[in-house]
A and B are shown apart, each in its own frame.
Chain A
Amino acid sequence: MISRAERTANYAILLLFATFALWPILAILATALGPDDAGGAGGLANFPAAWAQGRFAGSMLTSIAVSAFVVVVAGVLSIMAGYAFGTMRVPWAGVLFPVFLLGLMVPTEVIVVPLYFDLRTFGLTNTFWGIALPQVAQSIAFGTFWMRAYFRSRPPSLIEAGRLDGASSWRILWQILVPPGRPAIVTMVVLTFMWTWNEFLIPLVMATDASLRTAPLGLAFFQGQYTSGYTLLAAGAVIVAAPVVVVYLFLQRHFIRGMLEGAVRE
C-alpha cells in the first residue's frame, strides 16, 4: 500500500531527525573524549581529570544524598496519601485532592523566593534540609496523584479479603497492595529521581556553601571557572548527566509512560 518512494522519503525524514536529536549528545561525548586542552593524551583520562578539577566527588555525593532522601520520603508519603485518596473516604477529599493537584502546576520560581527568606529566619538555608524538603513537597504532588490512580485501579475485593482476614489497613497497604504495584511505584521513583537529580534553581538559591552543591550546580560553577577550552567541561557534563541517562536506558518505558500518563491528568 505504501510506495517505495514514500517509504524512502519516510526513512530519510526519520534519519534527519534522529541526527538532529543525537548531534549535541554525540558532540559533547566526542569533545569529552578528545585531546586534552593542556596538550595531554585526553581520551578516557579526561574523566578523572574533570572529576578532580570540578570537585565532582563532593557534588555527586550531595546529589546522591538529596535524591535518595527525596525519593524515599516523598515515595512513602505519596503511597500513604494515594492509598487513602484511592481506597478510603477521606474527609474533605473534594477539596484536599485538588489542592494536591495544584502542586503539579506551581512553578518553583514562585515558591523559591519566600522559601529562601523564610528558611533563612530558621537558619535552614545552606543546609541539606533546605535543598531536600522543598523537593519532597513538590514530588508529593505528583506522587499522590500517581499512586491514587494505582490504588483506585485495584479491585475492592482484594482489600475486602484482607479486612475479613483481620489485617489492619496498614498491613493491607504494605503486604497486599504495594507488592503488585511495583511497576507504578518504579515509575514514580524514576521520575522523582530524575527531577531531583536535574533540579537546578532550588540548590542554586539554597546552597551557598561549596560543600552543599549538587552535581548540576557543580557543573555550572565549573563552567564559570574553567575557561581553557571545552574538553574537561564536556567530560564534567557527561559525568553529571550519566546517572539519569543510564537509568533511562534501562527503564525507558517507565520514564515515557510516567511522563505521558502523568501529563494526561484523567
Chain B
Amino acid sequence: MADTLVASTARGGSAARRDRLGPSPWHALAYVAPALAVYAAFVLYPLGRAVHLSLFDWDGLTLATFVGLGNYVEVVTDGDLRAAFGHTLVLIVFFALLPAAIGLVLAALLTRARVRGLPFFRTVVFLPQVVAMVVVGVAWRQLYAPDGSVNDFLELVGLGGVTRAWLGDPTFALPAVGVIGTWVQTGLVTVLLMAGISRIPDQLYEAARLDGAGPVREFFAITLPSVRAELAVALTLTVIAALKTFDLIYITTGGGPGNRTSVPSYEVYNRAFRLGEVGSAAAVGVTLTIIIFAINLAVARIGERR
C-alpha cells in the first residue's frame, strides 16, 4: 500500500505540479479503497441481499420461492409480528420518553444548581451505557426474581401484596423490561442535555429571575427551548435503541411469557435461525431499517428547519 502511494507521487512532470495542489483524485481514492472494500462487502452487500431475500419464501436450505411483497404483507397482517412492533411502542415510552423527562429534570438541576459531586454523579449515571447488555440482563433478572431485591424492597415499603415473578408475568414482563431500558438510557440523555444546558448564557436566567420567574417558569421559558437540538438527538438515539433491543430480550425473557415481550429484532433472529423462515426474517429486518432511516431523516429535517 505505502509503496504504491509513494510511487504515484514521485512520477515527476505533471505529478510534481499536482503535488503542490494536493494528491490526485485517484491517489485520494486509494486511501478510501480498503475501508470501502470491507464496508461494502460486510455492510452494503448484505443490506442489498436482505432486500433480495425478503422477496422469497426460503427455509435456508431448500430452493426458495419468489413471493414478491408477500413477506411485507405478513409484517402488517401477521398477529405475532404486529404484536412485536406494538411491544416496541411500549418500549419506546420506557427507553426514550421516560429518560427524556427524567434527564431534563436532572440536567436542569445539575447544571443550574451548581451542586457538588457532579463528576461523580456523571460517572455513575453514564455507567449503564458501557456495561454489556448481557450483563445488564443477568443483573436485572436477579433483581426481578421472586426472591430478588425488587420484591424485597416492595415488602419493605408495605407493598408485599404486589410482589410477583416480574419477568414471568404476562402483564408486567414488558414494562419490567422497559424499566431496564429506562435505567440504561437515562444517563446518556442526562449527560447529553447537561452539555446543552451548560451552553445557555447566564444572562438569560438572570433576566428571567429579575422578571420574577420561578424555577418552573424558568425551565419552560428558557431551558426547554434552548436544548431542543440536544433533546432531538437524545430521542433519536434512545428510540433507535428501543427498536434494536435484542440482547436484553434474549437474556431476560426470550420473548416470553408466550410472546408478550417479543420485539422485531427478536423476531428476526427467531425466524431466521430457529423457525427457518429466512425471507420473513429479512422482511422484518428491512422494515426495521426503513423505520430507523425515517426517524433519522425526520430528526435531521427538524434540525435543519431551526
Contacts and interface: CB of A to CB of B under 8 A. Distances in A.
Interface of A: 1-2, 6-7, 10-11, 13-14, 17-18, 20-25, 27-28, 31, 73, 77-78, 80-81, 83-85, 87-91, 96, 99-100, 103, 105-118, 133-134, 136-138, 140-141, 144, 159, 163, 168-170, 194, 197-198, 200-201, 204-205, 215-217, 219-220, 223, 230, 233-234, 236-238, 240-241, 244-245, 248-249, 252, 255-256, 259-260, 263-264
A103 B43 contact: yes
B268 A113 contact: yes
Contacts of B28: 84, 88-91
B272 interface: yes
A168 B285 CA distance: 45
Contacts of A259: 129, 188
A52 B132 CA distance: 21
A21 B31 contact: no
Given A11-B115, A100-B35, A100-B39, 8 more contacts: A83-B31, A105-B296, A107-B244, A110-B46, A113-B268, A200-B134, A201-B246, A220-B251
Given A11-B115, A89-B28, A110 B139 contact: no
Interface of B: 2, 5-6, 9-10, 19-20, 22-23, 25-29, 31-32, 34-36, 38-39, 41-47, 49-50, 52-53, 60, 102, 105-106, 109-110, 113, 115, 117, 121-136, 138-143, 145, 149, 183, 186-188, 191-192, 195, 209, 215, 229-230, 233, 236-237, 240, 243-244, 246-247, 250-251, 264-265, 268-269, 272-273, 278, 281-282, 285-286, 288-289, 292-293, 296
Given A13-B109, A107-B288, A169-B9, A245 B34 contact: no
Contacts, number: 291
A245 B139 CA distance: 15
A117 B60 contact: yes
Contact of A80 (B23, B25, B31): B31
Contacts of A96: 32, 36
Contact of A25 (B126, B133, B139, B188): B139
Nearest to A244: B130
Contact of B247 (A31, A115, A200, A223): A200
Contacts of A230: 142, 145
Contacts of B43: 103, 106, 111, 134, 137-138, 141
Nearest to A239: B135
Nearest to A1: B209
26 contacts: A14-B121, A23-B149, A27-B143, A80-B31, A81-B36, A88-B31, A89-B22, A89-B25, A105-B296, A107-B288, A109-B285, A110-B282, A111-B43, A112-B46, A112-B268, A114-B50, A137-B38, A137-B39, A138-B42, A200-B132, A216-B134, A219-B135, A241-B135, A244-B132, A256-B122, A263-B233
Nearest to A76: B34
Contacts of B281: 113
B32 A113 contact: no
Contact of B191 (A110, A216, A260): A260
Contacts of B229: 264
A14 B25 contact: no
B278 A111 contact: no
A130 B171 CA distance: 39
A110 B47 contact: yes
A85 to B, nearest CB: 7
B34 to A, nearest CB: 5
Nearest to A30: B149
